[in-house]
Structure 1
Amino acid sequence: MNSTYDIKRARQETLACKDLIHFNNAGASLMPTPVSRALHEYLNKEERIGGYETEALYKESLNGIYKSAAKLLNCSPDEIAFVENATRAWDMAFYSFKFNPGDKILTTFAEYGSNVVAYLQQAKRFGVEIVFVPNDEFGQIDVNALSNLIDDKVKLISITHIPTGGGLVNPAKAVGKVANAAGIPYILDSCQSVGQMPIDVEDIGCDILCITGRKFLRGPRGTGLLYVRSSLLPHLEPPMLDQHAAELISPSEFLIRPDSKRFENWEQYCAGKFALGVAIDYAMSWGLHEIQQRVYSLADHFRAKLSTIDGIHSTDEGIEKCGIITFTAEQLNPAAIKQALSALKINISTSKGSGSLVSFQDRGIKEVVRASVHYFNTDEEIDYFVDTLKKVLAR
C-alpha cells in the first residue's frame, strides 16, 4: 500500500470515521468536511438572502464545475452537463437516439438494471433488438465477440463500466477501440468508476459518459454529470427541452443550444452543484491514480481476509477487480448479514434484483453481500470486519 498516503488527514476530514465503519461507498460514500461545508455554506446563504440572489453571488463557482469536470475526464467544459442524477443523465442521452425497426443495441450481461429497462422500452416502441454480448472466461465482456457482432444494424454500444453487484471492471478502452473503428456511438455508464480510478474519455474512446455525485466522488446526493462528445451533439436532440436547453426565438421556432448543456434543465440543485464542484476538486487534490492504488490495495486485502472464512464464496468477476467486494455465505443470507453488522455500526449493502438481474440470473445468483472501500478506510477496519463477520456467522 502507498505508505505516503495521508490516511490521518483523510480520516480527520471524514467525520463519521470516529463513530462507524463505512463499507458502503458504492451506495453512497461519506462527504468529506470540505464538501459538506460547501453544501451547508450555500444553503445557509440561500436561507439568508434568497435562492436567486445566492445563485448570482456564486455564479463563478457554479460555472467552475464544468472546468473541474472537464479536467477530471480530459474533455472540454462545453461537453459537460450538470444533471440531477446519473440515471437522468444517462436517460437524457440515450433517449436522444432515434431508432428504427431492426436496429441493434449491444450491451453486457453486467448491465445496470435501469439501463436494461430503457433498452426494452425502446425495443417495444421501435422494434429494436437488444443483444447481450457474451462474457469471456473471466466474466467480463468478450471484446472479440463484440467485434464479431458488429454489422450495419448496430446503432449503439452501451455498457456499464463497473456493475453495481460486483467487483468487475469491464475493459472499457478495448470496447472503445471496437466502437470507434466501426463508427458506432458508445455510451459508458461510469457511476461506480469515476472517483475510484482515473477516467480519460479520450483514452477510453466513449462518446457519452454518465456520473453520479454520491458514490466514489463523495459529493452530495441528487447530483450527476453527463459527458457528450462535441462531434456527436449535432445528432442528438434531447427528449425534453426548456428555455435553458433551447432558446425560443419566435412563436413557432426554437434553437437548441450547441453545447452539452442542452441536456440540462434551468431549475437545478444549486447547492448540490456547488458542493459537487468542490468534491471533484477535492478528489483531484488526492490524485486519481493514488486513489485507485489505495482502493485496489484495500480491496485485495479484503478479499484475501474473506477467503480465510469457511462458507464464504466470492462473487466478483473480471481480470481487473475494483473496490467493490461481493460474496455470499453458506451460514446466513445477505440481508441478515447486513442487519447484524449494521447493529454493530458497520455499513455495508446487499445487491439483488433489477440492479444486476441479467448477470445474476445467468450465474444463478439471487443476492450478494456488497462491501465497498474507499481511500479513507484502513486495513484495521477490514480486519475488524472479518473478525466480526466470523462471530456473526458462528451464532
Structure 2
Amino acid sequence: MNYIKVTTTYPTGGTLLPNAFVDNYMIRANGEYIKVYIYLLRMVSDGANFSIPCLADVLELTERDVTRALKYWEKESLLRMELKDGVISFIELLPVSGNPHSPAQTTKQEEPAQATSSAASKTTVKDQTITGAEPIPAMKTLSPAELQRKSEDERFSYLLYVCEMFLGKPLTCTDMNTLLYMYEDLRMSCELIEYLVEHCVSNGKKSFRYMQSVAINWYEANIKTPEEAKAYSKNFRKEYYSIMRAFGLNQNPAPVQEEYMKRWLETDGFDLALIIEACNRTINAINKPSFPYADTILKHWKDNHIVTLEDAKNFHIRQKAPKTFANNNNQSNMHNFTQRDYDFDALEQQLLQKQFADELMEN
C-alpha cells in the first residue's frame, strides 16, 4: 500500500481550524471535502502518514470522494500535491489566506502542477483519472427558509413528495439539500432522480449519502435518462457479481465495494478465482463478509508474488510442510527433543487479523 506523507510549514496548534478557513472556505465547500481537510490537519498534528483507501474507510467515503476533495483543496490553493508514477506521494498544507485564490498562493500551487502535468493532458491518481475538466460541483447547504423558497418550484416540490413516499418518512433539511444538489448542480432530471431513489431504496439503501455517491457516479458516466441508468446498472461487470456472491451478498455493490473490486481486478491484476478464494478465507476467518479483510489477504499474497489460485495453494502447502535440517546425519544427536506441530493456516489467519487490526488502528 502506498502511504502519503503530509507536512506543513506553519504550526497547526493541534487540530484547530484557522478562522480564515471558517470565514472564507468552509461555508462554500462540500461537507465531504471539509471532512477530508480536517482529517489532513489531524494527520499533520500527529505527524502520521495515511493512504487514500484507509482515509476513505475512516471517513466512510469512497476513494473517488477523497481524490475529488484533494483536487478541490488544491484548486483552492490550500494544499500542494506531488505525484510519483501517477500516485500521490506527498501533500503540503499551505497557509490559509483571508483572501481566497490570492495570486501568491496560486503561483505557488501551480508550480508543481506544471511539473507534473505539462507533459500530458491528464494524470491518473489511484485509479482515478483527473483531467483539466471542471471538477464535480460542490454541494451547497441552504437554510430552511431558502429550501422553502426552492420547494415552490412545482417539479422540485413533486420530487420531494415522491421521495417521501419511497422512504416512508418526511425529508430532513439535509435530505432536501442532497436532492437539490442532484437537481440543480448535477443537472439531473426529476425522472432520473426519482429512478435513482427508487433504485437505491429497492436495494435496501436509504442513506442519502449513498444516493449522493450513486448520483455522482452517474454524473461522471454522463447518464441523463432513467433508461441509460437502467442499462448502466445491468452492465455491472460479471466479475463483480461473482465476488459479491462469494461473500453471500445478493445485491448491487456499493461504490466503495466497487472500488475495492476494480483495484483487485484492474490495478493489481488478480485472477478472479484468487479473489474468490480470498473472500472464502475471509468468511472462514471472521464469519462475515469484509472487503477490507479480503484486501489484507490479497496484499499478503501480492507481497509473496502470488497471482493465481494455484500459486496460493502451493504457497500454503509449503507453509504446512515440515522443516528439514541440512545435516541429517547429526540430526539424532543434535535434536533429541519432541518436534512441535504447527497449524500454519491458523498462524496465517492470526497474522492477517493482526495486520487488519493494525491498519484500522493506524487510520
Task: With the length of structure 2 as denominator, give the TM-score of the two structures.
Answer: 0.22
- Comparing both chains, which one has the higher relative contact order based on Cα–Cα distances under 8 Å and sequence gaps of 6 or more? 1
Higher helix residue share: 2
Task: With the length of structure 1 as denominator, give the TM-score of the two structures.
Answer: 0.21
Higher strand residue share: 1
Larger radius of gyration: 2
